[in-house]
Chains A and B, each alone.
Chain A
């Protein structure tokens, strides 16, 4: 089922929760809503679910406007962060509840519950109560309950954030696999960008109630349209430096008090055309410590991440860079390093509008 949001707005009193969002989720697509907490992503999800009523705008399932349709008539399945299992019912009771409300005959209920339970790998837990289950098992029950009524749309509200790291990893794959197998349109709210990047077909990035971008994970990473996206997507986050881009013959240079590095012509040209100060973004993985580097700086903090060390390098008072380094080098705070900047994927932004100068 296709989901269309048109100028969707939600106000709580005078506070704007969701501000004029328009997007289309294709049938069978897996879309993640990504953003910091309080950005309006859960509110949007609850409007799709029918729990909140939009203040303005339209929600369509395929061509049908469903603004006034109560949740029970939308045929959706939802998995909550807290799982929201009914503590006084058994696992069977929990999964069967939506069917019971639909007045599905008893035998069919039992059959469908068993089918779903088998698929979720919880067939042996049917007569337990939620309190007797582990977090992962509860998660599976919640998923089973959402799936049992064969919904047109699956909604997820940060479903993995209460699980431990390993379980989260395996559940990610499982949910993704299930969704593709059943071909159900899915909307997945999360604040974890790795989750969004690995699971979603497309990601809607939200901030302060506004839709910042709606793109595939690759596009978000390589072609960020705004400064916010560039800074938000990617870990460790992108470095930003204020530079001026100057042209010398066919070569463009990004210049400021601490550095002077050549940039690719097609990117440098766009920045130079804007003129004056621009914000240059460069990802930590594109910076290497090298004897042949052109930029000098002092290591300020060393943060061991395991596979890499994350360095905070001060070039001068105004310019700092996060750099990934090989732990084997054993750099310490106070060391002086020379850095080589690989500027092939460098980004440029207008400091006023914070829009990308490269991607429209």
Chain B
């Protein structure tokens, strides 16, 4: 656009005016730009830098310049952290844990259950639908500590555990769910939070389906299932794609509930990548917080995040979103 405008040299154009126009635009953008710079852009560079240092509790400093230049102690260790990470015997397991956790939670709950709830609440009385959706939002607004407390009580051993109380009533042996079924519950407790995101998106998409379309389908004498199959689902293609991509990314990096539930235990059985990064760098539970090593774990996630977000942008046909503004002056 700019080049087209500048080639129009026939016009005696006033530079200062174009300048003022831009300044206004940048003025609108400045606060957002500042936040992006300080809390996204610089941290991204910083985490790359930290991942090639051996920063830990023992040689801790927040002085980035000193880290970069100091010879004694020497901070920069090159790719050591990454070598160590790939050699880490837990790394492949954590990686597979992560894949498994993301896929299982996403398919079963965030997309699957979210869609089911949206379809169900769309087919009940409007007020009942509102109530059901409000109930589903509960896990999202419950303080994580309390939410996890709730789940811990569900799976706890006798006499506190709710499931084990039922086991007792049914005359079945007590089960140690923390040990045996850790994954089942991790996926469930995360899924019950994640489902509400898909639910809201799908509901608003279903509600925005033109009533004419539904009526036409009703007139044609379709059953509920036929309407779902032939009217609703085809129109939900984009929301489905949106929820899938968006939630993949957020599941990939959500770890606080696992942290609170069993901290990735028993014996790293349920540790996922982001939790590993957090545990190694920030969690004071391990006496020696290894900032550099933890950063290496985080860098892997940052790279995956950037790649997937870029794909996400492509998928959503970015070019169609940047239609030229239809006002060109100030």
Asked if A67 and B13 sit within 8 Å, CB to CB, the answer is yes
Q: Which of A56, A57, A71 contacts B329 (CB 8 A)?
A: A71
List residues of chain B with CB within 8 A of the CB of A65: 12
List residues of chain A with CB within 8 A of the CB of B12: 65, 67-68
CB nearest neighbor in B for A57: B10
Asked if A68 and B327 sit within 8 Å, CB to CB, the answer is no
Taking the complex as formed, is B330 at the interface, i.e. its CB lies under 8 A from any CB of chain A?
A: yes
Query: What interface size band does chain A fall in?
Result: 10 to 19
List residues of chain B with CB within 8 A of the CB of A67: 11-13
Majority secondary structure of chain A interface residues (helix, strand, loop or mixed):
loop
Taking the complex as formed, is A93 at the interface, i.e. its CB lies under 8 A from any CB of chain B?
A: no
List residues of chain B with CB within 8 A of the CB of A53: 5, 328-329
Q: Mark A48-78, 1 if CB is under 8 A from B, else 0.
A: 0011111111100000010110110000000
A7 and B11 CA atoms in complex are apart in Å by: 11
List residues of chain B with CB within 8 A of the CB of A13: 1, 4, 324
Taking the complex as formed, is B223 at the interface, i.e. its CB lies under 8 A from any CB of chain A?
A: no
A93 and B5 CA atoms in complex are apart in Å by: 37
Asked if B328 and A52 sit within 8 Å, CB to CB, the answer is yes
Nearest Cβ distance between residue A38 and chain B, in whole angstroms? 14
Nearest Cβ distance between residue B212 and chain A, in whole angstroms? 21
Q: Mark B280-315, 1 if CB is under 8 A from A, else 0.
A: 000000000000000000000000000000000000
Taking the complex as formed, is B17 at the interface, i.e. its CB lies under 8 A from any CB of chain A?
A: yes
List residues of chain B with CB within 8 A of the CB of A55: 4-5, 8
Asked if A70 and B11 sit within 8 Å, CB to CB, the answer is no
Q: Which of A7, A53, A54, A58 counts the most chain B CB atoms within 10 A?
A: A53
Supposing A53-B5, A68-B17 touch, asked if A58 and B11 sit within 8 A by C-beta, the answer is yes
Q: Which of B4, B10, B329 contacts A70 (CB 8 A)?
A: B329
A207 and B326 CA atoms in complex are apart in Å by: 21
A51 and B327 CA atoms in complex are apart in Å by: 5
Asked if B11 and A54 sit within 8 Å, CB to CB, the answer is yes
Taking the complex as formed, is A11 at the interface, i.e. its CB lies under 8 A from any CB of chain B?
A: yes
List residues of chain A with CB within 8 A of the CB of B143: none
List residues of chain B with CB within 8 A of the CB of A56: 8, 10-11
Nearest Cβ distance between residue A193 and chain B, in whole angstroms? 26
Taking the complex as formed, is B62 at the interface, i.e. its CB lies under 8 A from any CB of chain A?
A: no
CB nearest neighbor in B for A11: B4
Nearest Cβ distance between residue B62 and chain A, in whole angstroms? 49
Taking the complex as formed, is B215 at the interface, i.e. its CB lies under 8 A from any CB of chain A?
A: no
Supposing A50-B329, A51-B327, A53-B328 touch, asked if A68 and B14 sit within 8 A by C-beta, the answer is yes
Q: Which of A12, A51, A68, A70 contacts B324 (CB 8 A)?
A: A12
A68 and B11 CA atoms in complex are apart in Å by: 9
A56 and B11 CA atoms in complex are apart in Å by: 6
Nearest Cβ distance between residue B277 and chain A, in whole angstroms? 44
Nearest Cβ distance between residue A297 and chain B, in whole angstroms? 44
Q: Mark B1-44, 1 if CB is under 8 A from A, else 0.
A: 10011001011111001000000000000000000000000000
Question: Which residues A1-35 have CB closer than 8 A to chain B?
Answer: 7, 11-13
A58 and B10 CA atoms in complex are apart in Å by: 9
CB nearest neighbor in A for B327: A51
Asked if B329 and A51 sit within 8 Å, CB to CB, the answer is yes
List residues of chain A with CB within 8 A of the CB of B13: 67-68
CB nearest neighbor in B for A58: B11
Nearest Cβ distance between residue A68 and chain B, in whole angstroms? 5
Asked if B4 and A51 sit within 8 Å, CB to CB, the answer is no
Nearest Cβ distance between residue B158 and chain A, in whole angstroms? 62
List residues of chain A with CB within 8 A of the CB of B8: 54-56
A54 and B328 CA atoms in complex are apart in Å by: 10
A55 and B17 CA atoms in complex are apart in Å by: 16
CB nearest neighbor in A for B330: A70
Nearest Cβ distance between residue A174 and chain B, in whole angstroms? 30
A52 and B328 CA atoms in complex are apart in Å by: 5
CB nearest neighbor in A for B13: A68
CB nearest neighbor in B for A59: B11
A11 and B4 CA atoms in complex are apart in Å by: 8
A13 and B327 CA atoms in complex are apart in Å by: 15
List residues of chain B with CB within 8 A of the CB of A57: 10-11
A50 and B1 CA atoms in complex are apart in Å by: 17
List residues of chain A with CB within 8 A of the CB of B326: 51
Nearest Cβ distance between residue B179 and chain A, in whole angstroms? 61
List residues of chain A with CB within 8 A of the CB of B324: 12-13
Nearest Cβ distance between residue B330 and chain A, in whole angstroms? 6
CB nearest neighbor in A for B9: A56
List residues of chain B with CB within 8 A of the CB of A12: 324
CB nearest neighbor in B for A6: B10
Q: Mark A178-208, 1 if CB is under 8 A from B, else 0.
A: 0000000000000000000000000000000
A13 and B13 CA atoms in complex are apart in Å by: 19
A43 and B14 CA atoms in complex are apart in Å by: 22
A33 and B159 CA atoms in complex are apart in Å by: 85
CB nearest neighbor in B for A71: B329
A70 and B20 CA atoms in complex are apart in Å by: 12
Q: Mark A66-102, 1 if CB is under 8 A from B, else 0.
A: 0110110000000000000000000000000000000
A229 and B106 CA atoms in complex are apart in Å by: 62
List residues of chain A with CB within 8 A of the CB of B327: 51-52
Asked if B328 and A51 sit within 8 Å, CB to CB, the answer is yes
Nearest Cβ distance between residue B319 and chain A, in whole angstroms? 12
CB nearest neighbor in B for A51: B327
A310 and B14 CA atoms in complex are apart in Å by: 57
A15 and B324 CA atoms in complex are apart in Å by: 13
Nearest Cβ distance between residue A251 and chain B, in whole angstroms? 53
A12 and B1 CA atoms in complex are apart in Å by: 8
Q: Which of B10, B14, B324 counts the most chain A CB atoms within 10 A?
A: B10
List residues of chain A with CB within 8 A of the CB of B11: 54, 56-58, 67-68
Q: Interface residues, chain A, CB within 8 Å of chain B?
A: 7, 11-13, 50-58, 65, 67-68, 70-71
Extra pairs beyond A51-B329, A70-B17, A71-B329 (14, CB < 8 Å): A7-B10, A11-B4, A13-B4, A13-B324, A51-B327, A51-B328, A52-B328, A53-B329, A54-B8, A55-B8, A57-B10, A58-B11, A67-B11, A68-B14
Question: What are 18 A-B residue pairs whose CB atoms fall within 8 Å in the complex?
Answer: A11-B4, A12-B324, A50-B329, A51-B326, A51-B327, A53-B329, A54-B8, A55-B4, A55-B5, A55-B8, A56-B11, A67-B12, A67-B13, A68-B11, A68-B13, A68-B14, A68-B17, A70-B17
5 nearest A-B pairs in the assembled complex, by CB-CB distance: A53-B328, A68-B14, A56-B8, A56-B10, A55-B8
